[in-house]
Structure 1
Amino acid sequence: MELLCPAGNIASLKVALNAGADAIYLGLKDDTNARSFAGLNFSPKKLQQAVEYTKHAGKKIYLTLNTFARPSEEHRWYQAIDMAADLGVDALIVADISLLDYAHSRYPWLDLHLSVQASASNLAALTLYQQEFDIKRAVLPRVLTIKQINTLAKVSPVDLEVFAFGSLCIMAEGRCHLSSYVTGQSPNTGGSCSPAKFVRWQEQGNRRLTRLNDVLLDQSSLDEQMGYPVVCKGRYLNEFNQVGQHALEAPTSLNTLSLLPQLAQAGIVSLKIEGRQRSPAYVEQVTKIWRQAIDTYLENPTLYQVKEQWNQGLAKVSEGQVTTLGAYERDWQ
């Protein structure tokens, strides 16, 4: 099983590889990827350095082009594909059908991975993408149960990748427009569901207010740890709740260490760590723990057990310092 780790800069890429990552995924310094934040991602020159460093380490590198090209601006995404092919990246992670078609027709030797933003979650969808664009892998949305993943893996025409750790998305990925009602910008084209230019933190007495485009999403004490503001993770007042609670989702991180044997037995080829926007320290800590867990499982699958220090280490860098299995395990089903 491949351990696929994020890199928002060269420092994160290097620590991920040194900590045991099998592959790295990253994006360009623009809105062709869904983590478009100031100070994050790679210029063309930095991307070339990243490719050379990763190849020298004997590992793989994937370029994320998972936003949807805007009308009359498709050429910018096409240029990114051209550059990736010239630099020799191992695969492109793509959601937009037009971009898949461009990459497949121009560079048939370049592996294509279907992004989670494409929301492909059944056999018919995977078959279509495989037949039309020869995708080699699909990243499954984080709304499927482990039972659904098992069922799909038995018949999938392509390799499957799942998110193993990191921030959760409770929406149908690739179809969420929730934040566009607050910012006026679609997360699927703008590169972020909470663009940094709209984020405001304000101190008011002993409280900290969190706003997105002047809409109050949350408030906390000054010493309370807060996650990055997104609409779905805000705390709101309503007719049933006058104290302010998380209406849709509490800030937590996905942690599937306990499901590692089931994911391996299902034939999942890649375990993805979320967090291109996180620090090198986060990337290093999570990569080390997951490297240990995967190696422990492979050494003796029947005796695999999650070590408490692994969970403790992951909890420290988790959103809200809380982890969950998310949709992988729904008790109410």
Structure 2
Amino acid sequence: MELVCPAGTPASLHAAVAAGADVVYCGFRDATNARNFPGLNFSRAELRDAVEHAHKHGVHVYLACNTYPQAGAEEIWHKAVDDAVAIGIDAIILADIGLLRYARDRHPDARLHLSVQASASNEEAIRFYHQEFGVRRVVLPRVLSLDEIRTLNQRIQVETEVFAFGGMCVMAEGRCSLSSYATGESPNMNGVCSPAAHVHYEERGDATVSRLGNFTINIYDSDEKVGYPTLCKGRFRAMDKSGYLFEEPTSLDVTAILPELADAGVSALKIEGRQRGKAYISQVVGAFRASLDKIAKGQHDARSKLSTLSEGQSDTTGAYRRNWQ
């Protein structure tokens, strides 16, 4: 399985290459990608140098152009596609139907992947993107079980890429608008979920309050680890009880089920975290590289060595193993 690793900066890309990535994915420094945070992403010149460095070490580079163009500003997204092809990107990760059509018509030889932002999780949807736009790989939403992925791979003609480590997204990926209710900005249109400019922390006695815009997302006791305030990971009061209604702070980690994912026909493993630093990238990529190399030799160690990097020091296999069913 191909190891697809994140890079939010040139330094992180170099770290991912050195740690054993097969592919590094990144984005331009604008609203065309779903991690449009200050201090992240690449200029055209930086990406050109990054591609040259990666290719020199036998590593591919994918460009995430996976937000939805805003009316009247389509040329920004069109230019991102054109520039990616000119730079020599190995694949472009897209979500918007209009942009997929543009890429296919303007650059028929370009390799196109379907972003998780498109939220395509069934045979009919994936076949549509393959037939209409020549999509060669689909990044699956984090809602499918291993059995569902195996069945899907037996029925479609494109590669599948699944998330392997990092933040969870329990909403319908590509359809979530929670952030826009609180901040006016969403990942789908603006490339940001819970933008840092709207994040605030307050001390309230012995407790720490995390806020997003005008909304209190969580209140932490002094002995609790304080997390980043995103609405889907907030604590809410309902039915006279307080708790995590959508999702507890935890990270996805598929180390234990890597052989099962390979058996299900998965082509690539995606590590989440373009907003993370190069030290995080080095450790996570290195751990997965070692695990995949052991599997290639017929060995497997199901124990993860990444628990200290998991959100809340807690990890899960998510929907891949539906223990609640």
TM-score range, shorter chain: over 0.9
Match of 1:329 in 2: 321
Match of 2:179 in 1: 179
Q: What's the CA shift for 1:193? A: 1.8
| Aligned AA (1:322) | S
Q: What's the CA shift for 1:275? A: 0.5
Match of 1:219 in 2: 219
Is the CA contact 1:145–1:327 (under 8 Å) kept in the aligned structure 2?
A: yes
Counterpart CA distance in 2 for 1:254 and 1:55 is 29
Match of 2:265 in 1: 267
Match of 2:17 in 1: 17
Q: What's the CA shift for 1:215? A: 0.5
Match of 2:280 in 1: 282
Q: Given the alignment, which residue of 288, 291, 294 partners 2:289?
A: 291
TM-score (ref. length: structure 1):
0.94
Matched, 1:40 2:40: yes
Match of 2:51 in 1: 51
Counterpart CA distance in 1 for 2:26 and 2:307 is 24
| Aligned AA (1:123) | E
Change (3 A) 1:52 1:222: farther
Deviations 1:239-282 (A, max 9, x none): 421xx421211010001112111111122111000000111111
| Aligned AA (1:235) | R
Two-structure CA RMSD over aligned residues (Å): 1.3
| Aligned AA (2:47) | L
Name the SS for the 2:289 alignment partner: helix
Deviations 1:301-320 (A, max 9, x none): xx4232x3xx2x31111111
Q: What's the CA shift for 1:222? A: 5.3
Q: What's the CA shift for 1:238? A: 3.1
Is the CA contact 1:200–1:214 (under 8 Å) kept in the aligned structure 2?
A: no
Is the CA contact 1:2–1:22 (under 8 Å) kept in the aligned structure 2?
A: yes
1:118-197 correspondence to structure 2 within 5 Å: 118-197=118-197
Moved more, 200-209 or 5-14: 200-209
Counterpart CA distance in 1 for 2:5 and 2:222 is 32
| Aligned AA (2:254) | T
Deviations 1:57-94 (A, max 9, x none): 11100000111011101110001111101000000000
Counterpart CA distance in 2 for 1:225 and 1:284 is 24
Name the SS for the 2:178 alignment partner: coil
Deviations 1:27-80 (A, max 9, x none): 111111111111111111211111111111111000001110111011100011
| Aligned AA (2:313) | Q
| Aligned AA (1:68) | Y
Q: Given the alignment, which residue of 290, 299, 320 partners 2:312?
A: 320
TM-score (ref. length: structure 2):
0.97
| Aligned AA (2:192) | S
| Aligned AA (2:275) | Q
Counterpart CA distance in 2 for 1:246 and 1:265 is 34
Name the SS for the 2:306 alignment partner: helix
| Aligned AA (1:54) | A
Gaps of 5+ in 1: none
Deviations 1:280-301 (A, max 9, x none): 111111111100110111111x
Q: What's the CA shift for 1:223? A: 6.1
Is the CA contact 2:63–2:89 (under 8 Å) kept in the aligned structure 1?
A: yes
Counterpart CA distance in 2 for 1:52 and 1:222 is 48
Match of 1:201 in 2: 201
Counterpart CA distance in 2 for 1:186 and 1:279 is 23
Match of 2:92 in 1: 92
Moved more, 121-130 or 220-229: 220-229
Q: What's the CA shift for 1:220? A: 1.7
| Aligned AA (1:195) | P
| Aligned AA (2:210) | T
Is the CA contact 1:153–1:268 (under 8 Å) kept in the aligned structure 2?
A: yes
Name the SS for the 2:292 alignment partner: helix
Deviations 1:186-220 (A, max 9, x none): 33101112112211122233322111112100122
Q: Percent identity?
A: 49
Is the CA contact 2:111–2:136 (under 8 Å) kept in the aligned structure 1?
A: yes
| Aligned AA (1:276) | R
